[in-house]
Structure 1
Amino acid sequence: MCSCTSKLSHETMTVEEAIICLDDLVYEQTQKRLKPLQKAIIQGVIEGLTYKEIKENYPIARNYTVGYLGRYVGYNLWKDITKVLKQAEIIEPEERVVGANLWDCMMRTLQQGTQPRKPADPILEKLLRMRYRIREHLVSTDYSDTYLAEDENLPDRPLCLVKRLKSQSDRTSHLFDRETRVLYRLGQHDRIPELLARFEEDGYFYLVYQFVEGQPLYQELIEGQPWEEPQVIALLKDILEVLVFVHKQDVIHRDVHPQNLIRRASDSKIVLIDFGAVKEINASQNSSGQTRSRGGTQQDYIPPEQAIGSPKFCSDIYAVGIIGIQALTGMRPKQLRVDNLGNLIWQKNATVTPEFARVLDQMVLYAFPQRYPSATEAMLALQQLTVDS
């Protein structure tokens, strides 16, 4: 039992005092204290904030992406707290600490019978399709809410991601159907999250995705810490292996950036996530190949043709090339300058062979017809570097 139990009444305990109590328990069990970022996430989740709102409201979280906070820090934090509370015999062996029951679990460190706080979002703890138990609100956008859920129909209740579309218009229905078709086809690849279910309930459209445990690539690309060339080549090959499959399905991802690339914990392979911005290439396009939606959430990785609403397969290649240059230079893309033709000036900031530099330059050319036309050609160029060496 937590050492602060005798000092505080659960009826008058503030969130801050409860976190102190939990921190003491964690220290008693592990000899380690909760980190300030972990405390901020605990407080934010208890107060009903999404991870996006935690990032916006807590200064210590502002330098991290929403994906990193929710998929990595929060996910591992709940696992560690679960282990501590089980060791202290505060929760049952089959129980699991998640955002939705966090306050209740913290109060049980004081005494039994405490009523849990009512979740700020009414969907928390709701069971969808008699199967998916909603546990945490990860992020909210103009178009959808994404939640972490447990699949209660399977052994060990594995985690999954549930996306609920906000709009119920005909346009939303069309986008829902399009994304579903694409995701179902793309989910055949081992390194693209599988679409587990699609359904409509209580007037909302839902998509259920496989949850991928791992760390966003964003956390590996540290400013001022450039990578060695072989490491960068291996990373680009890892990304392009997935994009080769995507492009062969006549799909442009349109949102390739370090926040949408997860280093999978089980095997360190790169997984490409978030296909909400995909655009199928079909006969409805006009002769210029333009699309209605620009897509993309990270402007530094979007090439000029995509910025004006005309993405190509080579637009994804541009994004991959920018990631490679970022890794090789240790610089953020916006720190790089361009020449009179709009091409990036970066080689003086990197230790790179002329052969690899030429490949990267061709990936990020301002003029898209001169880039590698798709992931297949870009991959062949990188493979040829290995053969030549």
Structure 2
Amino acid sequence: MSYCLNPTCPNPQNPTDTKFCITCGTKLLLKERYRAIKPIGQGGFGRTFLAVDEDKPSKPPCVIKQFYPQAQGTSTVQKAVELFNQEAVRLDELGKHPQIPELLAYFTQDDRQYLVQEFIDGQNLAEELSKVGAFNETQILQLLNDLLPVLQFVHNHQVIHRDIKPENIIRRSRDTRLVIVDFGASKFATGAALLKTGTSIGSPEYVAPEQARGKATFVSDIYSLGVTCIHLLTQMSPFDLYDINEDAWVWRQFLTFKVSGFLGKILDKMLQTAVSRRYQSAAEVLKDLNQEQKQATTPTVATAAKPVHPHPGTTPVIKPSASKSKSLVDDELAEMRSQFLEAGTSKNENQKSTPQKPSSPNPAQSKSQVDLELEELKSQFLGSPKPKKPPTQT
């Protein structure tokens, strides 16, 4: 099928390979190569279409963005033109990154501006969330490790995305990598531009407080990524995850899966209202993330025992450490000695009212006898020479 790009065409659908719209006569091929197939989105500044590049034998898919502002007023339309032009410039600069769509063409046709970019086949995270449910900690950690380097790349090119949200993050089907799309709201952040108050742009649920006041900075994207994470963890609107009365995030109350303390701490810092208390770069978030993960996964190093090589044909006998065996035997003998002596003391106390026989041994003699017997047991266990009995007193 071919789709007519004339916004006023009453019947834009056309047969495949048609060169002109059979309803309004508008030319269907852009730059003699890009053919729109169906609309896939519409925003305040334009419409987006799935298309094919007929200049290549495989006719690979691509995306056509048509500048078609819905807003009224000269100043608003002028701002929309500026943003559309900026998106083309940004994609031309950033599209070489494998997780950012590549800009294929930017031109004007029939007095309308068009932008053609690489098509990313996959679901955005909002679609994924609705199909598979809330994300767990492992998925959020993977998301952060996948997206933070991309965000750092964008910021290194002095660009603020200004519209990080689940709808603008696509999981590419062929390799499951996450791709950041829609740089239509992005801003080139020169030193002067960062100090100047501009237009408040972005999705209200995900926008940072300073960005809402028209003063977006690089850390505004970090805030929006943090809000994206807690939305994916809870499936709740970010508006419902913030307690206005307490002036605090309450996202932990709505978790489906348990979140560890270290991930919670990182997300809390990404979500700080005050810019100075927030992470100052994507690299800084990654550093904390990797340090915590490294500590959590570092195994305990144990000292290996020296191998014993028995003679051929013999069965190896594993002997316990001599010092360890001696310690265990000493402990057990001490306990036996205590039991014997206590028993003897108890017996003597019970017999106080009964006249003792002259031949009964006194407590000191009993203690000496017990020690001798225990020493004999110890020698049997450890192989030490038997203790010599003291000479008999006459």
- Which TM-score band (shorter chain)? 0.5 to 0.7
CA distance in 2, matches of 1:270, 1:187: 14
Quote the offset at 1:312 in angstroms: 1.2
Cα contact 2:197–2:213 (8 A) shared by 1? no
CA distance in 1, matches of 2:244, 2:207: 18
Quick one: structure 1 residues 366 and 141, their matched pair in 2 at CA, closer, same or farther if it must change by over 3 Å?
same
Quick one: structure 1 residues 178 and 330, their matched pair in 2 at CA, closer, same or farther if it must change by over 3 Å?
closer
CA distance in 1, matches of 2:267, 2:52: 42
Counterpart of 2:87? 179
Quick one: structure 1 residues 212 and 225, their matched pair in 2 at CA, closer, same or farther if it must change by over 3 Å?
closer
Cα contact 1:224–1:330 (8 A) shared by 2? no
Q: Secondary structure at the match of 2:154?
A: helix
- Aligned counterpart in structure 1 of residue 33 of structure 2, from 114, 131, 149: 131
Counterpart of 1:300? 205
Quick one: structure 1 residues 311 and 223, their matched pair in 2 at CA, closer, same or farther if it must change by over 3 Å?
farther
- Aligned counterpart in structure 1 of residue 128 of structure 2, from 220, 225, 243: 220
Matched to 2:264, the amino acid is: A
Matched to 2:35, the amino acid is: R
CA distance in 1, matches of 2:249, 2:259: 15
Deviates most, 141-150 or 369-378:
141-150
Identify which of structures 1 and 2 has the higher relative contact order when contacts are C-alpha pairs closer than 8 Å and 6+ apart: 1
Q: Secondary structure at the match of 1:221?
A: helix
Matched to 2:146, the amino acid is: D
1:14-163 mapped onto 2 (5 Å cutoff): 100-101=13-14, 126-163=28-65
Quote the offset at 1:238 in angstroms: 1.5
Quote the offset at 1:342 in angstroms: 2.7
Structure 1: tracts of 5 or more residues without a match: 1-41, 51-98, 106-114
CA distance in 2, matches of 1:273, 1:291: 25
CA distance in 2, matches of 1:300, 1:121: 40
Quote the offset at 1:148 in angstroms: 1.9
Quick one: structure 1 residues 119 and 357, their matched pair in 2 at CA, closer, same or farther if it must change by over 3 Å?
farther
- Aligned counterpart in structure 1 of residue 196 of structure 2, from 290, 293, 299: 290
Counterpart of 1:246? 154
Deviates most, 266-275 or 174-183:
174-183
Cα contact 2:84–2:184 (8 A) shared by 1? no
Matched to 2:161, the amino acid is: H
- Aligned counterpart in structure 1 of residue 239 of structure 2, from 325, 334, 337: 334
Quote the offset at 1:227 in angstroms: 2.8
Counterpart of 2:327? none
Structure number with greater Rg is 2
Deviates most, 298-307 or 183-192:
298-307
- Aligned counterpart in structure 2 of residue 165 of structure 1, from 28, 53, 67: 67
Quick one: structure 1 residues 329 and 148, their matched pair in 2 at CA, closer, same or farther if it must change by over 3 Å?
closer
1:262 and 2:170 are equivalent in the alignment: yes
How many residue pairs were aligned?
A: 282
Deviates most, 312-321 or 163-172:
163-172
CA distance in 2, matches of 1:182, 1:283: 17
Quick one: structure 1 residues 320 and 120, their matched pair in 2 at CA, closer, same or farther if it must change by over 3 Å?
farther
Counterpart of 2:109? 201
Cα contact 2:125–2:171 (8 A) shared by 1? yes
Cα contact 2:83–2:184 (8 A) shared by 1? no
Counterpart of 2:254? 349
CA distance in 1, matches of 2:109, 2:183: 22
CA distance in 2, matches of 1:229, 1:120: 53
Counterpart of 1:363? 270
Q: Secondary structure at the match of 1:206?
A: strand
Query: 1:247-277: CA deviations, max 9, x gaps?
Result: 1111110000010110101011111000000
Quick one: structure 1 residues 285 and 352, their matched pair in 2 at CA, closer, same or farther if it must change by over 3 Å?
same
Quick one: structure 1 residues 302 and 170, their matched pair in 2 at CA, closer, same or farther if it must change by over 3 Å?
closer
Q: Secondary structure at the match of 2:129?
A: coil
CA distance in 1, matches of 2:151, 2:204: 20
Matched to 2:58, the amino acid is: D
Cα contact 2:86–2:184 (8 A) shared by 1? no
CA distance in 1, matches of 2:78, 2:121: 34
Matched to 1:157, the amino acid is: K
Quick one: structure 1 residues 349 and 133, their matched pair in 2 at CA, closer, same or farther if it must change by over 3 Å?
closer
TM-score relative to the length of structure 2: 0.64
Cα contact 2:94–2:100 (8 A) shared by 1? yes
CA distance in 1, matches of 2:24, 2:215: 38
Query: 1:105-146: CA deviations, max 9, x gaps?
Result: 9xxxxxxxxx9xx777865x7011111112223333332222
Counterpart of 1:383? 290
Structure 2: tracts of 5 or more residues without a match: 297-394
CA distance in 1, matches of 2:239, 2:89: 35
Quote the offset at 1:279 in angstroms: 0.4
Quote the offset at 1:346 in angstroms: 2.0
Quick one: structure 1 residues 224 and 134, their matched pair in 2 at CA, closer, same or farther if it must change by over 3 Å?
closer
Quick one: structure 1 residues 179 and 122, their matched pair in 2 at CA, closer, same or farther if it must change by over 3 Å?
farther
Quote the offset at 1:49 in angstroms: 12
Cα contact 2:83–2:185 (8 A) shared by 1? no
Matched to 2:136, the amino acid is: E
Deviates most, 169-178 or 136-145:
169-178
Q: Percent identity?
A: 36
Matched to 2:51, the amino acid is: A
Query: 1:292-345: CA deviations, max 9, x gaps?
Result: 22221x221111111111111111111111122123334332221326663312
RMSD in angstroms over aligned alpha carbons?
3.2
